[in-house]
Amino acid sequence: GRRTPARPRTLLAALAVVLLIGAQLGEATATSAVATRLRLNHLDDYAPWGARQQRQADLIAEADGWPRYRTDPGREQTVGNDPMVVGGQGAQYYSSLTADVLSRTLTALGDGWTSRGRNLQSLDNAVTDAVFSVGARVHSPPDQHQRWNPRDRSPATVTREDVPPLV
């Protein structure tokens, strides 16, 4: 048998390594792009601060009675951390460190959550409002920024109930 000179073998080996690395990088890039697209389709999408958020913040400020009672920003979220952004003292907030026992306790009381349990939802019922001293609650239409919500342009309102003080 005839032997191939060392130089062409070295070039072929180098070409094979370059092709292998290129294929791996291409596959990793394509997989990352698809995974990112799928992940983004599952994330909540909130509008930037505007009239809806300002109206909600104004209603909360008008109804606020802390520390006599809590004011809940309402079930329809403006952002993941409504109480921190628009005011009030509701149960809903987002944290990657939400304790499992808190999520399970609030779920057992009728609460909901999104983001795999990291984003607690507002408890909107008279019994838990009395237990947690929620004396005012904002009721907003679904966020029109989120394309899957039904079209509803009704104004946000506040309900007020007498509740025992928080211990």
Answer whether 46's CB lies under 8 Å from 80's CB.
Answer: yes
Question: Is residue 167 a part of any domain in this protein?
Answer: no
The answer on 130 and 101 residing in a single domain is yes
DSSP state of 7: H
Phi, psi of 119 (to 5 degrees): -120, 100
The pLDDT tens digits for 41-62 are 777 677 888 888 899 999 999 9
Question: Which one of 51-55, 89-93, 144-148 scores highest in mean pLDDT?
Answer: 51-55
The answer on 56 and 39 residing in a single domain is no
Output the pLDDT for position 85.
Answer: 83
What percent of the chain shows pLDDT beyond 70?
94
User: Rounded CA gap, 86 and 56, in Å?
Assistant: 7
Q: How far is CA 145 from CA 19, 53, 127, 128, 157, in A?
A: 46, 12, 31, 29, 19
The pLDDT tens digits for 15-27 are 999 999 999 999 9
Residue 4 has pLDDT above 80, yes or no: no
User: Which of 9, 27, 43 is the last residue before a domain boundary?
Assistant: 43
First CA to last CA across the chain, in angstroms? 94
Residue 134: strand, helix, or coil: strand
- Total domains, the chain: 2
Residue 2 has pLDDT above 90, yes or no: no
**pTM confidence score:** 0.69
Residue 91 has pLDDT above 80, yes or no: no
Quote the domain boundaries for residue 144. 51-160
The answer on 73 and 140 residing in a single domain is yes
The answer on 62 and 133 residing in a single domain is yes
The answer on 15 and 68 residing in a single domain is no
User: Rounded CA gap, 109 and 127, in Å?
Assistant: 10
Question: Is residue 166 a part of any domain in this protein?
Answer: no
The pLDDT tens digits for 30-41 are 999 999 888 877
